Every structure is written in structure tokens, then in C-alpha cells.
Amino acid sequence: RQTNIWARDDARDTWVKTTLEGDPKYRRSTRAVIVHRDRKTGVDRIFIAAGALGIYSGVYDPQQPGKIRWGSQAELGPVTIRPMAFVEANGSLYASAGACVYLRKDGASPAWEKVYCDNTPEHWELGGIRGLTAVASPNGSGESILFSHTDRIIRIDPNKDHRATVELRIRQLLQKSWGAAVRGSIIAAYSDMMPLKDPATGRTVHIMGVQGRIERGGRDKTYRRNTFFGWYAGGSYLVRESDRRYRLKEVNGRWGPGKPKLVAPRTFVVSPFPEDAGGKVYFGGFDANFFPALDTALVFRAGVGTVLNAGP
């Protein structure tokens, strides 16, 4: 087992592989990366979530392969459940691993402080807390942090000692929209929650993919037509309004027979192409959830107005 990191050499137009050292018994999953300037040392560091090995950091070094000198040991780890996300908020670096959120204490001898944790069951594949995203604090100063965990969207407020508030119970919203009980797992905000300016109001909203399992069972079970092995077939995503209200929409409109089964929008980006003038959004995703799947990855494009309108 290896954790490999590829860095682009712009001068040679090639990619250079480096491998993190670590005990081979640990499960690997390179899930997230971020650059953060240490507030005490002033040094720019790159951080990577390396599965059960934990979180490693590196610094620029032109003499090293890939021009990054990685630490020989994890800054945080080993961990039981793979780290899933990073975010900078109020100039500080946060990371999630399992059911906990950690704050990095910058300096020559850095440390990670646990600022949020709950006692929900942990699961390697589901990955615990996802989608760390900085948003304006509802208290009027600084930034708060949003994330998803189990069937909840949770906000923690650093300016109130990281007090946690559940903004949304996702299951209730899914069941109301889909017209069916969601009896299994829910995954929301695979990587982050993308900010998007609503042209109708001028306010910034956040969008995030979500999937839910309507029926449980194995490969041999006969499932409802509107599911992929029990997971709802439509490409659902949440829209968080600036007043912290939530609503549910679907990529390609409400799913129906004859439409592709999208299951899970995992990533979003505002179009970088000049001809789109910032008015289009690209969606990518799908999640096989350990079931057989062929030619199922999705990429869709839609105008911002369509992405945010009141329709399903």
C-alpha cells in the first residue's frame, strides 16, 4: 500500500511522483489537499489527507522530487477513519477526520486541537464529517464552518467557542421531496459546498450534492425503478440560502423513466470558459456504492438561473 502524490513540473511539462512514508498496515485514501500559510512562522505549507495515516504537511523545496519536502511523520494521525476535508476560516486551518473537526495550532511545533466531536457510529467508506466550508457568521463577525455528517448539516461558530448548531435534518427534506421513506444512509457535500451568487437576489447561496438510500439490500434484490440498487436515482443537490433555509433540486430536472440514473453529484464549478461569462455551472459525479456500474459518470452544464430556480 502506498500514498502517491503527483506534482506538475511546469518547466518540463511532466508529472513527478512522490510517495509518503508510512506503515503498510494502514488503509490509504488521498482525499483532500490545501495550502495554508502558518500564522506564526509565515511559511506556506501544503497539507494532504492520507487515509488512516492521517494528515501530512510539506514545504517548497526545489531540490526535492516534485519540489515539495514532505514531513516524515503525520502532523495528525494515525486516525481510525480517513480525513475527508480541509478549510481555512478566520485565517486558521481546520480538518475533519471521523466524527471530529480539528483546528491546527500554527507554529514551529504545530498541534491539532479537537474542537468538535460527536458519538455517532464511524464508518470508513462513509468517511464521517465531509464538506468543511467557511460561511459568514450569523453573529455578524468573522466566519463560521459548515459541514455534513450522517443526515445533518451542522454549523460551528469559532467566535462562540465552536458551538455547534444543526441547521438541517436532511432525511426529512429528502423524504418530502422524493415521496418515499429514506431508510438507509445519506451522504451530502462530498468535498465542499460551492458558493454561488444568485442573479435574482444578488445574495450568495451554497450548493452541495446529496444522495440517500430508499431501500436496503444486496445485488440480487429487485429494487424500485427510481433507484440504483436502492439509492435514489436522481442527481439531487441542496441549496442553502443566505438566511440558512434549505431546499432540494435535481440535476437534469426531476428523475423519471428514460433519464440516466445520476445518484450523486459530487463536484461543482462555475464555468471558467470566457464564452460562458460566469453564467454556467458544471456538475460532475455518480457513486456506484460498491454495486456494478458501467458508463455512469456524469457531467452536466446549466445556467445559474436554472441551477437555482424554484423548480425541482
Q: Is residue 61 part of a domain?
A: yes
Q: Which helix (H) or strand (E) holds 105?
A: strand 100-105
* Bond before 195 cis per omega within 30 degrees: no
The whole-number pLDDT of residue 71 equals 93
In a domain, 245, yes or no: yes
How many Cβ atoms sit within 10 Å of the Cβ of residue 301? 13
Give the model confidence (pLDDT) of 197-256 as tens digits.
999 999 999 999 999 999 999 888 999 999 999 999 999 999 999 999 999 999 999 999
| Dihedral angle over CA of 153, 154, 157, 158, nearest 10 | -110
| Co-location of 106 and 2 in the same domain | yes
Q: Is 200 part of any domain?
A: yes
β-partners of residue 36 are 45
* 183 and 239 belong to one structural domain: yes
Residue 1 has pLDDT above 80, yes or no: no
Among 97, 128, 159, the domain boundary falls at 128
Helix/strand/coil percentages in the chain, nearest 5 = 10, 45, 45
How many CB atoms within 10 Å of residue 173? 20
Please identify, among 128, 152, 177, the residue that sits at the C-terminal boundary of a domain: 128
Q: Hey, is 274 helix, strand or coil?
A: helix
Residue 180 lies in a domain: yes
Assigned domain for 147 exists: no
Which structural domain, as residue segments, surrounds residue 304?
Answer: 169-312
The alpha carbon of 234 is separated from its chain's Cα centroid by a whole number of angstroms, namely: 19
- Count up the domains in the chain and report the number: 2
Q: Are residues 101 and 179 in the same domain?
A: no
Note the pLDDT of residue 211: 98
pLDDT band at residue 294 using 50, 70 and 90 as cut-offs: very high
Reference 96, options 81, 105, 80, 85; nearest CA is 85
Shared domain for 69 and 190, answered yes or no, is: no
Per-residue pLDDT at 23 exceeds 80? no
Q: What is the dihedral of CA 39, 267, 285, 222, to 10 degrees?
A: 90
Strands ordered across the beta sheet of 100-105: 83-89, 92-97, 100-105, 111-117
Mark whether 175 and 116 lie in a shared domain. Answer: no
Of how many residues is the chain composed? Answer: 312
| Residue range 291-306: mean pLDDT, rounded | 96
Residue 125's pLDDT is 83
The secondary structure element, H or E, covering residue 171 is helix 170-178
Same structural domain, 101 and 225? no
Cell of 113: 486541537
Looking at the fold, whether 222 and 275 belong to one and the same domain comes out as yes
Grid cell of 278 as nine digits: 460566469
Radius of gyration of the chain (CA): 20
My answer on whether 109 and 209 are in the same domain is no
pTM (predicted TM-score) = 0.95
Query: Where is 210: in which H helix or E strand?
Result: strand 204-212
User: Is 139 a member of any domain?
Assistant: no
25 and 118 co-located in one domain: yes
Whether residue 256 is contained in a domain is answered as yes
Rounded distance, CA 287 to CA 293, Å? 9
Q: Cα separation of 278 and 296, whole Å?
A: 27
